[in-house]
Amino acid sequence: MDVHDLDRILLAGAAVLLVAIVAVRLSGRLGLPSLLIYLGMGLLLGESGFGIQFEDAELAHALGFAALVIILTEGGLTTRWNEVRPVMPLGVVLATVGVAISVGVVACVAHFVLGLDWQISVLLGAVTSPTDSAAVFSVLRRVPIRPRLRGALEAESGLNDAPTVLLVTLVSTGATGEHGLPYFAGLVLYELVVGALFGLFIGVAAAGLLRRVALGSAGLYPLAIVSLAFVSYAGGAVLLHVSGFAAVYVTSLVLGRAELPHRLATRSFVDGIAWLAQIGLFVMLGLLASPGRIRLADVLLALVIGIAVTVVGRFLAVSVAATPFRIPWREQTFIAWAGLRGAVPIVLATIPLAAQVPQADRLFDVVFVLVVIFTLLQGPSLPWLARRLGVLDDNAANEVDIDVAPLETLGADMLQVQIPSESKLAGVEIGELRLPEGVSVSLVIRKKRAFVPERRTVLRAGDAVLVVAPSQLREQTIRRLRAVSRAGRLAGWFGERGREQT
């Protein structure tokens, strides 16, 4: 490759990236997960379209895992801990017991109904059972469901990669027959628990270090966060032989909750590279697919396996996992249907492909078709299903959007509050907010006009309000603003205390 080849590659890559960015808006309007458009772009660029040849399953496997690390990092950093913490036990059970039930159901259907051998049957179950963190994080944050449901689904998708990666690897190499089920169960438990503990250690140590060390530039903090996430992933896998995915997710949860410098800049940077990772991952998987190889029998097989995993296995798994936690049947139904498959099953299908397992090509094709068909069915139906089941967040319409920017030299934070149309902040005077002493409302931006408010200034829907709060009063201020947004100026009388942002 010379510099002219590099120029052509950069031009093509930039063009693809720009088209993918524009496609995000299109997918949002259509209610479809953007992964479908990216997969379609990969197919269009591949052997059946523009003719780009890409058949390196080992490279796709390696790059896919690297992309998943970035996606999990972004998911952990932006997950609200107060939503995940109460349902973390449910997320763990869904990611372990739930996955085991789903794998068993699909494997039995594939073997006894479809007549496939046990190795391919178990691989089909293991590859299709985990939910995809990228699909879950992107779709559910556009659907205003109850925080408990969102937290459970995000926790599950962040943790269920670990046991399935291990199972797919062991089955692909034939190691499961040597040791048996008890050995595998113990190994999964070890990898998950020790991986999570290692991730917790890295996260706590990194948070303490970043608070004390001045890096000299705001742009270095996001790079440090991403580097620490990869240290957690690779360190756990290389040094302790535990799940790097569990480690990186826990590390990101800790760092996302920590009071670190330049949090807003860090989250913006990680959000950007997570989008880049998703785009690159899905386009690459589309390139790896071979539409000309897919037969009608593969499509029918994908439909049968998809029904087995999405309708039978998933609903049974959620019922067994969620019933002990007294989750109502309506919420169980939504959790079951919202278990979206995306890049993860296709990436997992590259493991037997790279290991040259018999019929691995067909396995990859079936999984690819399954993901496309059932993402088309599940993704657009989630808003409708949430309304029908009554699991929407009642406070979503009047919840204020609050961004925090640190003012480090002053030991304070600037809160940017956007007042939605349904918020009960509209009509409230500045003095009636009753913010903590020392907190000031510095600026109101109304219809592109900025002015300094007085105590008698009345807030209106659509206003952007800048509030300056000492760092130690930030969370108290956010809770008060959220409480007034929900219950009005007499929020305290109604027992409304707001909810933490982290």
Q: Which of 15, 21, 48, 58 is nearest to 37 (CA)?
A: 21
Distance CA 372, CA 423 (A): 38
Q: Which two tokens stand for residue 314?
A: 């998933």
User: In this structure, how many other beta carbons lie within 10 angstroms of the beta carbon of residue 139?
Assistant: 25
Angle between helices 161-173 and 147-159 (to 10 degrees): 30
Q: Which two tokens stand for residue 287?
A: 């390139």
What is the pLDDT, as a whole number, of residue 154? 84
- Residues 319-344: tens digit of each pLDDT: 999 989 989 999 999 999 988 888 88
What is the pLDDT, as a whole number, of residue 57? 87
Q: Within 13 A of 195's CA, how many CA atoms are on the CB side? A: 27
* The model scores a pTM over 0.85: no
Using the 8-state DSSP alphabet, how is residue 429 labeled?
B
Distance CA 312, CA 119 (A): 21
For residue 381, with 0-12 CB atoms within 10 Å meaning exposed, 13-18 middle and 19 or more buried, which class applies?
middle
What is the pLDDT, as a whole number, of residue 502? 44
Using the 8-state DSSP alphabet, how is residue 116 labeled?
-
Distance CA 132, CA 29 (A): 22
User: In this structure, how many other beta carbons lie within 10 angstroms of the beta carbon of residue 182?
Assistant: 8
DSSP code string of 385-413: HHHHHT-B-TTSTTPPEEEEEEEGGGTEE
Distance CA 475, CA 478 (A): 5
What is the pLDDT, as a whole number, of residue 125? 93
Q: Which of 306, 16, 278, 247 is nearest to 135 (CA)?
A: 278
Tell me which of 405 and 153 has the higher pLDDT: 153
* Residue whose pair of structure tokens reads 């089920």 in the numeric block: 181
For residue 50, with 0-12 CB atoms within 10 Å meaning exposed, 13-18 middle and 19 or more buried, which class applies?
exposed
Q: Within 13 A of 79's CA, how many CA atoms are on the CB side? A: 35
Q: Which of 303, 306, 305, 218 is nearest to 262 (CA)?
A: 218
- Residues 219-274: tens digit of each pLDDT: 888 999 999 999 999 999 999 888 899 899 999 999 988 877 777 778 889 989 99
Q: Which of 392, 381, 370, 387 is nearest to 132 (CA)?
A: 370
User: In this structure, how many other beta carbons lie within 10 angstroms of the beta carbon of residue 462?
Assistant: 14
The letter for the amino acid at 310 is T
User: In this structure, how many other beta carbons lie within 10 angstroms of the beta carbon of residue 458?
Assistant: 12
- Residues 25-80: tens digit of each pLDDT: 777 666 666 778 888 889 888 887 888 888 888 999 899 999 999 988 988 888 87
Q: Which two tokens stand for residue 195?
A: 């991986």
What is the pLDDT, as a whole number, of residue 147? 82
Distance CA 371, CA 110 (A): 17
Distance CA 247, CA 414 (A): 32
Where does the pLDDT of residue 155 fall: very low under 50, low under 70, confident under 90, or very high at 90 and above? confident
At 4 the three-state DSSP class reads helix
Q: Which two tokens stand for residue 309?
A: 């995993």
Domains and CATH numbers, the chain: 3-389 (1.20.1530.20), 401-487 (3.30.70.1450)
Distance CA 196, CA 199 (A): 5
Asked if residue 294 lies in contact with residue 365, where contact means CB atoms within 8 angstroms, the answer is yes
**Rounded to the nearest 5 degrees, what angle is found at the Cα of 211, between the Cα atoms of 209 and 214?**
90
User: In this structure, how many other beta carbons lie within 10 angstroms of the beta carbon of residue 501?
Assistant: 17
Q: Which two tokens stand for residue 303?
A: 């439909």
Q: Within 13 A of 239's CA, how many CA atoms are on the CB side? A: 11
- Residues 172-207: tens digit of each pLDDT: 887 666 666 777 778 888 888 999 999 999 999 999
Q: Which two tokens stand for residue 214?
A: 């001045």
